[in-house]
A and B are shown apart, each in its own frame.
Chain A
């Protein structure tokens, strides 16, 4: 492995996490879409919504992570990919907007009817986005992009057998992951009959996703022969075997209602397909561009690696916290009684001092930023102005709420 491979490895880890975590959120939308009507359907929709509500934004960021790492470390490849796949990427973008919009809207719904409508928009876009992104992956995998602006056909680059198969696979595996996760969540929330319904869905979509994946291998045989060879006979084979074994293990675990380990084996099955694809395609990035040729300069690679490793130090503990709270049901269960905070000093005592500090900071800030010319003076001036805002804000915060003035209110 060379330095220029490292950012791509990060991006692929991000892609695998997006496929698993973001995929499960899309899958929750899929289950909302085909829930139907009635009380049972409402339970399914509400459960799907509640399970992904605290995490979907964080899971979505993996997509942005992948994009930014690729355009920084492999700009030439990114430019060609983005211009060639402008249509499916745009469709995915529209799906993302509708999905986020529907999420925002759900907070304002008052009746089940309104909620069902909003959920339908959410669900449709949850199918559109993974499908569109899957077609992009299929176009890259079947070597339909060359260097250029655009570097391939705007239509056949993503409307082709491999793309369509991977698009369908993306939707199917998302639904499968979601069903497995939601079964586990339903058991945790002491909702056994809901868990049973998702168990059946997990078994059905698990089989369906497996069938699509197998069909996909046949499609690759005819549509992307090089990838097929590497996947079935070369470096990609171990990943393929892991994916199949993990998929079968998940079905067995779900069958036996052991949902917690099934979460991880299902995730492994899906992540292994991403790994298998990338291993089988190495070292080719685009049809006429290797990873080495696509890589930005040495300094940029170093910068990306440093930034990602430094970012990971704060990211992973935070993610662990989020998932620990979510998996324990701490963010979705019923609310506790509001803690009775003990009333204390109604008027913060330091406002007069804050006001004086604010005035002094303002004068210093104006002097240093506007009258003085030196760079260091400007830096101090900026700090002073920020101190003015902060201290002034402290001084202006309401302190008289307990003693409302007898003004002409209402």
Chain B
């Protein structure tokens, strides 16, 4: 019955007025949610490793650390649950034609994700409230499903995004998806794996660097004892290793985009015309088919994308102007992501060298200042990365199958909704910042003697 749904022609022009606001609202909701997702993916694993150290060594310090991170996880998971629910509402509220036309193809990914979400929510309840109420082993075991569900959840959600970028598993007939094979569309898609790994490592980078940032800050403020040093060591270990791996995974992502979405790659680099031996430009601005004021590195794009210095790289002119994404937005986001990612990887290499050669963390004040900046920068890179893939796919919501303008709702009032949501999210952000600050100041000595205080705080 999907053919009954009006496609672009059927939408009243007045309704399309809000397409940009709808896109911004979606982007805003997503940008608010995705850093929380990172904590949902990575923090359970870090927590389990600290709890494992506690079980293994019996050192109370690890227990204190795990209990405090549990509180952080509880607060951030709650915020993640509700912001994620908003995203699922927006699938219908903002893009009813997208869901209405293709729900039968991609919806399965979210239906399966629902079960990951269930496992996370169930075991996070047990884990948070089971501290010192369950046996240590049972408590540790209750954390394992959370970490696993973090992986399966990202697998299924990314499978939908991979499908939107590289759709398959259906045919379009008169605007209707027929001959649908949902499992093949989502999980038989070679666009899934590089996106998944890129996001999964990003989650460890963001979580690791943000936590490390907090402890680096307390070191600069003169609050740095065994507890802070241990916490910093654990968080930084996750951050630096994933940053180094990410450099290579990011490169792999670039090559896959070059093969499957050449127009997106051309937007990354501001490549106006199809070129053999295409260059890379650092910085600069794209105008009239060229990058102006950029630093030109000849043949590098061909080399990176196809491993041949003279390879032919498709330019933006290969598709009609109406089918091109907004180049400067995509390009700026791409350069931001790659630039920050490179800096973080360099920082990681420095840490790794010092840890291997001197068996300790770096001690220079500048290192800790850089580390304070690294946390927020990793979030910027994360969001920039999603801008790259989502804006880079425009004007399509489903690449070369449905335009975003065809997907948008016909209901009005989007600016009102957007404004309300922005105000509510601002309040939420202030609240989360407040609670994290409060949690960081609660006394440390809650571990050895279980006083009433811990029960209340947990």
Chain A contact residues, CB within 8 Å of chain B: 53-55, 57-58, 60-61, 63-65, 67-69, 71-76, 78-84, 86-87, 89-90, 92-94, 96-105, 107-110, 147-150, 154, 289, 293-294, 296-297, 299-300, 303-304, 307-308, 311, 314-315, 318-319, 321-322, 325-326, 330-346, 348, 355, 358, 362, 365-366, 369-370, 373, 375, 378-379, 381-382, 385-386, 388-389, 392-393, 396-398, 401-402, 404-405, 407-410
Contacts and interface: CB of A to CB of B under 8 A. Distances in A.
Contacts of A348: 53, 56
B5 A79 contact: yes
A103 B122 CA distance: 16
Given A311-B114, A338-B447, A407-B360, A107 B457 contact: yes
B75 A82 contact: no
Contact of B133 (A55, A68, A333): A333
Contacts of A84: 411
B385 interface: no
A86 B409 contact: yes
Which residue among B62, B363, B428 has the maximum number of chain A CB atoms within 10 Å of its CB? Answer: B428
Interface stretch (B90-98, B282-290, B293-301, B374-382): B90-98
Contacts of B112: 307, 311
Contact of B122 (A104, A318, A330, A402): A318
Nearest to A67: B88
What bracket does the count of chain B residues touching chain A fall in?
35 or more
Given A103-B78, A401-B62, 15 more contacts: A79-B99, A82-B93, A83-B93, A90-B89, A93-B89, A104-B79, A107-B435, A149-B97, A149-B411, A297-B104, A297-B179, A300-B108, A300-B182, A358-B241, A370-B252
B19 interface: no
B455 interface: yes
Which residue among A76, A84, A362, A365 has the maximum number of chain B CB atoms within 10 Å of its CB? Answer: A76
A365 B245 contact: yes
B448 A338 contact: yes
5 contacts: A69-B114, A90-B420, A318-B123, A339-B132, A389-B201
B111 interface: yes
B193 interface: yes
Given A60-B121, A97-B82, A104-B75, A345 B97 contact: no
Contact of B4 (A76, A87, A98, A378): A76
B353 interface: no
Interface stretch (B218-226, B261-269, B327-335, B388-396): B218-226
B414 to A, nearest CB: 9
Interface in B393-435: 409-413, 417, 420-421, 424-425, 427-428, 431-432, 434-435
B241 A388 contact: yes
Contacts, number: 392
Given A60-B121, A68-B114, A75 B99 contact: yes
Contacts of A407: 360, 363
Given A71-B91, A82-B93, A149-B409, A96 B251 contact: no
Contacts of B373: none
Interface of B: 1-2, 4-6, 10-11, 49, 53-59, 61-63, 71, 74-79, 81-86, 88-89, 91-93, 96-97, 99-105, 107-108, 110-115, 117-119, 121-126, 128-136, 145, 178-183, 190, 193, 197, 201, 204, 222, 224-226, 229-230, 233-234, 236-238, 240-242, 244-245, 248-249, 251-252, 307, 355-356, 360, 363, 409-413, 417, 420-421, 424-425, 427-428, 431-432, 434-439, 447-450, 454-455, 457-458
Contacts of B432: 101, 104-105
A319 to B, nearest CB: 6
A204 B237 CA distance: 57
B79 A325 contact: no
Contacts of A409: 224-226, 229
A396 B351 CA distance: 11
A337 B454 CA distance: 12
B126 A296 contact: no
Contact of A307 (B84, B108, B234, B417): B108
A55 B237 contact: no
Contact of A321 (B63, B71, B126): B126
A397 to B, nearest CB: 6
A57 B115 CA distance: 13
Contact of A97 (B58, B91, B121, B425): B425
B248 A366 contact: yes
B453 to A, nearest CB: 10
A353 B292 CA distance: 51
Nearest to B57: A346
B47 to A, nearest CB: 13
A86 B411 contact: yes
B89 A68 contact: no
A297 B130 contact: no
A193 B117 CA distance: 37
Which residue among A69, A100, A331 has the maximum number of chain B CB atoms within 10 Å of its CB? Answer: A100
B438 A149 contact: no
Contacts of A296: 103-104, 107, 180
Nearest to A319: B122
Contact of B420 (A69, A94, A326): A94
Nearest to A365: B248
B360 A397 contact: no
A224 to B, nearest CB: 23
Nearest to B408: A149
